[in-house]
Structure 1
Amino acid sequence: MNKQKITLAVTGLNNTDNPGAGVPFIRGIKESEAFDARIIGLVYENLEPGIYMENLCDRIFQIPYPSSGSDELIERIENIHQQEHIDVLIPNLDAELFSFMKNEGRLRSRGIQTFLPNLKQFQEREKDKLPEFGKKYDIKVPGSINMSTLGQIKDLEDKYNYPVMIKGQFYDAYVAHNEEQAKQAFHTIASKWGFPVIAQEFVKGTEVNVIALGDGKGNTIAAVPMRKQYITDKGKAWGGITLADEKMMELTRSIISKTKWKGGMELELIKTNGGEYYLIEINPRVPAWVYLAVGAGQNIPEALVKLALGMDVQAMTKYKIGKMFVRYSYDAIVDLEKFAAISMNKEI
């Protein structure tokens, strides 16, 4: 079988203790039976580990933060496109998605394909709107309060018992066992991610997750559930195992069907001791553990790129149960010239 040659641009090469999905996404594409991909790595920082991994990317370009403005970011992508002729662009970080969704038509007119949720889908599942999302789609979600001032923390005890979850609108979540811890988490998150800061009711149970892919028409193309085996102090999975759980699969298919979700997603759920499921978060892109799905038999990166190119994709309904991933730290020794090149020239 002849593989189709494509040029694929990928963000999220920050493979640290708070990893992006870029590196495992690229690994999935390199195992694809459909594509022979030239990989363009797009980075925000000159120390993102994916820059220095051997045989991962063919070229690396530094791009401006979305906070610099969507136009500046997209103009940089267009400049890179003139050199590399990008066929498909896969963004992997929450904070950049709005800029790419907003400019999806502009990118397409240049010949750069994406496969992203639309703005309505993206906005209605935001953490500060999750209670309304739950009511609309008949899904159990914890109660929450959107906070913009420190004084609102005093109101928490009137509504919820400690502990409570304190979350940022994009990233970071802390368990607060008392008012002082809640204030500390509020300051940390507000300074990093701005407002609102979300206080979410703590639901006791086991955290489980589903990675899924929707075709934008209500069909679930892929879905793999897992349970975190090891969690870092940032709440990130450092190990996990695939599960046989039909209720999680039914919930996933229902959400994708009702929302007509387009693109990758991760559902974060709490399974209570009574067997109920509470949706605590929807991440609007593939998670950093996407390679577990590949190892379990569903190459979601390949399927996502196919959808972006308008190819027919058959739904994947089987996966291997009991497959585990274990993430680890690895010291890469690199020459200073590579660091200097990305720092000075903004490309390698």
Structure 2
Amino acid sequence: MLPSPVSDSHLPTTDHPKRRCTVAVTGLNAIDSPGPGVAVIRALREAAEFELRVIGLSYEALEPGIYLHDLVDKTYQLPYPSAGTQVLLERLREIHEREGLDVIIPNFDAELPNFARLVPRLEALGIRTFLPTLGQLEARDKLNLRAFGEEHGLLVPRQRPLHRADELAAAAEQLGYPLVVKGKFYDATVAHTLEQARQAFHQLSAKWGLPVIAQEFVPGHEINVAALGDGQGGTLSAVPMRKLYITDKGKAWAGITLEDETLLQLARRFVQGTRWRGGCELELMRAADGRLYVLEINPRFPAWIYLTAAAGQNQPAALLRLALGLPVEPWTTYAVGRMFIRYAWDLITDNHEFHQISALGEL
């Protein structure tokens, strides 16, 4: 399977003047457990039809994307999601008054409910998004995933929500060891003993809150699919990737695109069943008997999303077109065997830049 040319029906390269667009992107923490923001921006920068001004939206002063000035033109800090929608709206209004935002692309699970609630008010300001609805977010939530799988014929490992550490023993008796202990938004630990499970529970609850989720361990090969839904049940893009190297945090440090119609069908079934709107990632496990289990469905682009652009389906650029109300036709082909290998390097910046973002909330 070869990559399809990027045609006018997908992401046009045109002789007409480029469309100017100011797009704000979150998720700039390009660390060992990276956010998707930097990869999203890299893909957006390759959309030849746009002349982009990219505004970074950060939560911490040490998010590396803040200082990647070849990718990010200006950065503003946002209040943490726990501050609520009104505080977020006020900050976005301030930024919009200065920058004239056309589109915002949020990339963190924890911030998406606030942004989804604000969609009508953002549109009133002239800021566009292309986000899943609150109902769609709830349908694929970790706590509801098992029921969703049963409704739509998807295999999901057995799981139990945990509100207290003393519930772990009963969960382990039901689900067995190894036991996967998962945070409400992020992170997971494979526990082989009750003591390990308790330690994971306390760490994850302190970081992400309650409930913590105990999930049945399914041995096999990890596979991920990045997909883009049009909000009407149609899948505009789906690119499967097998992890070649996984960090101790469970993050893919290397991966390769796969040719597998079963994976694409599963992604289409999810998008159709939810009428998914925007980007998402299906985290899957292929068991020894070949069956595919859905471990998680992340409601935004994954950190490896630039691989979709490299494989011929630039999902972030397509989402930008959708947010602007421009047409996007479904892709049918992509490059199989295209690999990514993540690497770490030392980004050098000046101390005054760090102090400026820390003290003033912008850089």
Query: Which bracket does the TM-score occupy, shorter chain normalised?
Result: over 0.9
Q: Which residue does the alignment assign to 1:3?
A: 18
- Displacement of 1:345: 1.4
Which letter maps to 1:319?
Answer: Y
2:161 partner letter = N
Q: 2:59 touches 2:80 (CA, 8 Å); kept in 1?
A: yes
Q: Tell me the distance in 1 between the aligned counterparts of 2:264 and 2:42.
A: 25
Partner Cα distance (2:144, 2:199) in 1: 23
Q: Distance in 1 between matches of 2:40 and 2:143?
A: 28
Quote the offset at 1:248 in angstroms: 0.4
Distance (Å, rounded) in 2 between the aligned partners of 1:284 and 1:47? 25
Is the partner of 1:116 in helix, strand or coil?
coil
For these two proteins, the number of residue pairs brought into alignment is: 348
In structure 2, the partner of 1:54 is: 69
> 1:112 maps to what in 2?
127
* Cross-structure match for 2:137: 122
Other-structure match for 2:252: 237
RMSD: 0.8
Alignment match of 1:159 (pick from 161, 170, 174): 174
**8 Å Cα contact 2:159-2:175 kept in structure 1:** no
Residue 156 of structure 1: how far off its partner (Å): 2.2
Whether 2:350 is the aligned partner of 1:335: answer yes
Alpha-carbon separation, structure 1, partners of 2:150 and 2:362: 47
Instruction: Give the letter for the 1:18 counterpart.
Output: S
Structure 2 counterpart of 1:114, one-letter code:
T
Q: Which residue of 2 aligns with 1:147?
A: 162
Alpha-carbon offset, residue 312 of structure 1: 0.6
The match for 2:33 is: 18
Q: Residue 94 of structure 1: CA displacement?
A: 0.6
Gaps (5+ residues) in structure 1? none
| In 2, Cα distance between equivalents of 1:255 and 1:13 | 28
Q: CA deviation at 1:137?
A: 1.0
Query: Any idea what SS the aligned residue of 1:103 has?
Result: helix
1:213 alignment partner, SS class? strand
The 5 Å alignment of 1:223-302 reads 223-302=238-317
For residue 45 of structure 1, what is the amino acid of its counterpart? E
Offset of residue 171 of structure 1: 0.4
**How far apart are 1:3 and its partner, in Å?**
1.7
* Equivalent residues in 2 for 1:4-83, closer than 5 Å: 4-83=19-98
Q: Distance in 2 between matches of 1:103 and 1:302?
A: 22
Q: TM (normalized to structure 1)?
A: 0.99
1:183 matched residue in structure 2: 198
Please give the alpha-carbon distance, in whole angstroms, between the structure 2 residues aligned to 1:42 and 1:321: 33
Q: CA contact under 8 A between 2:117 and 2:134: conserved in structure 1?
A: yes
What letter corresponds to residue 67 of structure 1 in structure 2?
S
Greater shift in the superposed pair: 335-344 or 192-201: 335-344
Gaps of 5+ in 2: 1-14
Report the CA distance between 1:257 and its aligned residue: 1.2
Misfit runs of 4+, over 3 Å: none
Aligned to 2:215: 200
Q: 1-side partners of 2:354 and 2:171: how far apart?
A: 47
SS at match of 2:224: strand
CA contact (8 A) 2:139 2:274 kept: no
Contact kept, 8 Å, 1:293 with 1:299, in 2: the verdict is yes
Give the whole-Å Cα distance in 2 for the aligned partners of 1:3 and 1:274.
50
Structure 1 residue 158 displacement after superposition: 2.5
Report if aligned partners of 1:211, 1:266 keep a CA contact under 8 Å in 2. Answer: yes
2-side partners of 1:279 and 1:192: how far apart?
Answer: 24
- 1:186 Cα deviation after fit: 0.4
d(CA) in 1 for partners of 2:201, 2:190: 11
SS of 2:269's equivalent in the other structure is helix
Aligned-pair CA distance for 1:157: 3.3
Say if 2:327 is the partner of 1:312: yes
Structure 2 Cα separation of the partners of residues 138 and 305 of structure 1: 31
CA distance in 2, matches of 1:119, 1:157: 32
The residue type equivalent to 1:288 in the other structure is: A
Residue 87 (structure 1) aligned with residue 107 (structure 2): no
Secondary structure of the residue aligned to 2:223 is strand
> Is 1:100 aligned with 2:101?
no
The code of the aligned residue for 1:262 comes to R
Instruction: Give aligned-pair identity as a percent.
Output: 51
Deviation of residue 54 (structure 1)?
3.1
Q: Is the 8 A contact 1:34 1:302 kept in 2?
A: no
- For 1:346 and 1:258, the matched residues in 2 are separated by 41
Aligned mates of 1:190, 1:72 — CA distance in 2: 25
Aligned to 2:4: none
Q: Distance in 2 between matches of 1:59 and 1:74?
A: 19
d(CA) in 2 for partners of 1:156, 1:220: 36
